[in-house]
Amino acid sequence: MKCFYCRKTIGPLRRLTDSQFCSADHRKKARASSARFARDNSYTYGDEDVWPEMHESSERKSRLVSNQRTQAGVVFAIAVSLVFVLVFSWVSGPAPIRNAATTNLFGALEDKSTGLGQALRSSIPSRGAVRLQDDFRTGLEGWLPSSGRALDWKVESGIVHPGKLALWKPSLNLVNYRMDFQGQIEKKSMAWAFRATDLKNYYATKITLRKAGRQPAADIVRYAVMNGKELERVQLPLPMVVRDDMLYRVQVNIKGDRFSTMINGQLVDTWADKRIPSGGVGFFADKGEVAALHWVKVSEESQSLLGRIFALGFFMPPVYEPPDSY
């Protein structure tokens, strides 16, 4: 490449920043020379707008080149991201849904890949580290009562009537997760537990019918149980219309020290507590209470740092909804 002003070869370092002129001084002189040429021609041809038009044309060309480079960079970045997404999806595949009645959550994962695929699987976390479901059609395997006694829950046609507190074994080591279930109050209350480390340490919540009749009303009750003792019970009116035969679809989100409860798609309660950092889910019915539980699902996203980066920057995990058959 040669300088437009002096026709000397432009040095390799200079070409990195300017491929037209060998120095900033020559670029300035060339611009001044061009200005004089345009000015002289405007006088010769009687057109006072020749120089402004030439100057504006040069600026437009510079802007066009800059925009083209920017667009090319954006297209390249999008293409690389798409390729990365495709490779990641091919390697990791969808997160499995595990049935607690037939699957050992803590068993070894099946090795279905080798070479590069296996290396990528070991370094890139899956979108859903744990997904559990139980519709009670195969019994109550995986539900743990207190030691030394039998589970006093009743199962009728795939519907469970909980008794004393029992915990779902595959969920006991979870930290941040979402709990979904569907049930109905047959008498007084429907109750569940989360972040349960054992039968004496957990957070409990209930939907309790406060008033029956033509215009029934209900409360949401929550408290902590530490070393077997109930602490800090809070009872709040349920901000929604209820019926005696109402089917409740409950969603509990547990993240860090913050908990939120949604019933039939409506947010009804949020609160915070730091005392129990991890633990699973369970159900119970106190004396005089009867509830019918149809199914339960629990999903947890990866807790690794890389997993959080993927979730925030590239792969927003889909909202986990139970199948329509439930």
Residue 100: band (very low, low, confident or very high) from pLDDT cuts 50, 70, 90: very low
Per-residue pLDDT tens over the stretch 114-141 = 454 455 444 444 444 679 999 998 889 8
- Per-residue pLDDT at 111: 41
The domain locations on the chain are: 98-313
- Per-residue pLDDT at 103: 39
pLDDT mean over 176-200:
96
Residue 270's SS3 state is: strand
Read out DSSP for 192-215?
EEEEEEETTEEEEEEEEEEE-SSS
- Per-residue pLDDT at 88: 60
pLDDT mean over 205-228:
91
| pTM, to two decimals | 0.58
- Per-residue pLDDT at 93: 47
pLDDT at position 313 over 60:
no
Residue 317: band (very low, low, confident or very high) from pLDDT cuts 50, 70, 90: very low
pLDDT mean over 89-104:
47
284, 289, 291, 296 alpha-carbon torsion, rounded to 10°: -20
Pairing of strands 143-144, 266-272: unpaired
The CATH number of domain 98-313 is 3.40.366.10: no
Contacts of 286-290 spanning 24+ positions with Cβ under 8 A: 286/189, 286/191, 288/187, 288/188, 289/187, 289/188, 289/189, 289/190, 289/191, 290/161, 290/185, 290/186, 290/187, 290/188
Read out DSSP for 20-39?
S-SSHHHHHHHHHHHHHHHH
Phi, psi of 4 (to 5 degrees): -65, -20
Residue 109: band (very low, low, confident or very high) from pLDDT cuts 50, 70, 90: very low
pLDDT mean over 274-296:
96
